Amino acid sequence: MLSVRNLSFAVGAKTILDDVSIDFAAEKITAILGANGSGKSTLMSFLGKNRAAPGHVFFCGKDISEISPHAYALKAAMLPQQRETIADFAVEDVVVMGRFPYKRQFRDYTQADCEIARTAMREVGIEAMAKRRIGSMSGGEIQRVMIAKVLAQKPELILMDEPTNHLDIASKNVLKQALQRFEGTLIIVSHDRDFLTGLTDKVYEFKNHTIKEYLGDIDFYLEQRAVSSFREIEKGEPQKKEVVLEKEKPLSYEEQKERKKLTNQLSKVERQIADLEKEIAQMDSQIQQNPTPSLMEQYGQKKATLDTLMEEWEKILLIINH
């Protein structure tokens, strides 16, 4: 279905991908994991034909550089991590835009297209929101709209980069069920263990500019890696970092102070994340039993805080690993 051959990419002197070759099997669900900055999203942008690949990406045996964007859009759909800017349309109008690759001109939609869009909205539990305006919706609701738009495209291949961002546990479960029913090929970049558990057929881990394959689900992968959480993976390999540092010039006193300060900040943020994740897990159970408006509002606030803390954690980690 989809193959990558001899893909290399660097930003300045920093190597991101080094002669990477991968095969993604047809009608299978593959997870891509790895430390922050390891090249996961970079690879997805090449697979989605969002930028010219410095190597070869083959779709059904043909190099995608030889496939027009329109022809590729008939076969492949992508949900990027950074959500596209959306005008304040009604939900049903945004979702039916997923049918655009099949149309000669914008809004040239048939009754069949509208029915496909309604089915996609039903798949992710937003059919009742069809007439709502995008501008009135939360981040999680908009994410579900964009997922429905991808499903309405009826692609053979779906690429998803952190699809559970902004989603509460109920929405994650709805999405997971929809993806389990998807009959095509699915490639997912995610740090959400609960979401990936029981969903994937194979795992690829980005590590040291290359990729290692694990033939099993997420639990099998973590067992093989002898770690208990994705956060340990996302931190990278501290031992290898120390080896690299030994080859570099010694840090000055001020640099050592700054590194210690950043390390302390990282530990503090990690404690805050761990505490907040426990609170959210408790609220998940409460919501399942009695989803009151007040509880849902508190839940949304805590999820937003968690997203902010995760972004802060990633920024600090990138500075430390720079």
Q: Report residues of the chain scoring pLDDT below 70.
A: 12, 50-51, 53, 82-87, 104-107, 227-249, 284-285, 287-288, 291, 296, 307, 314, 317-318, 321-322
DSSP per-residue letters across 60-78: TTEEGGGS-HHHHHTTEEE
Would you say the C-alpha torsion 9, 72, 204, 5 has a positive or negative sign?
negative
Burial class (CB in 10 A: 0-12, 13-18, 19+), 32: buried
Predicted pLDDT of residue 290: 74
Predicted pLDDT of residue 41: 82
β strands within the chain, DSSP E: 2-11, 14-24, 29-34, 56-59, 62-63, 76-79, 157-161, 185-189, 202-207, 210-214
Which residues on neighbouring strands pair with residue 24, listed in sequence order?
2
Predicted pLDDT of residue 19: 85
pTM of the model: 0.69
Predicted pLDDT of residue 127: 92
Predicted pLDDT of residue 34: 82
β strands within 134-229, DSSP E: 157-161, 185-189, 202-207, 210-214
Predicted pLDDT of residue 114: 92
Half-sphere exposure of 268 (CA within 13 A, CB side): 8
Predicted pLDDT of residue 260: 84
Predicted pLDDT of residue 232: 63
Cα angle vertex 289, ends 284, 295, to 5°? 55
Predicted confidence (pLDDT) per residue in 86-127, tens digit: 667 899 999 998 888 877 666 678 899 999 999 999 999 999
Predicted confidence (pLDDT) per residue in 120-165, tens digit: 999 999 999 999 988 888 888 888 999 999 999 999 999 998 898 8
Residue with tokens 């930028």: 51
Predicted pLDDT of residue 244: 42
Is 276 within 8 Å of 309 (Cβ atoms)? yes
Task: Enter the tokens of residue 208.
Answer: 């040291």
3-state DSSP call for residue 239? helix
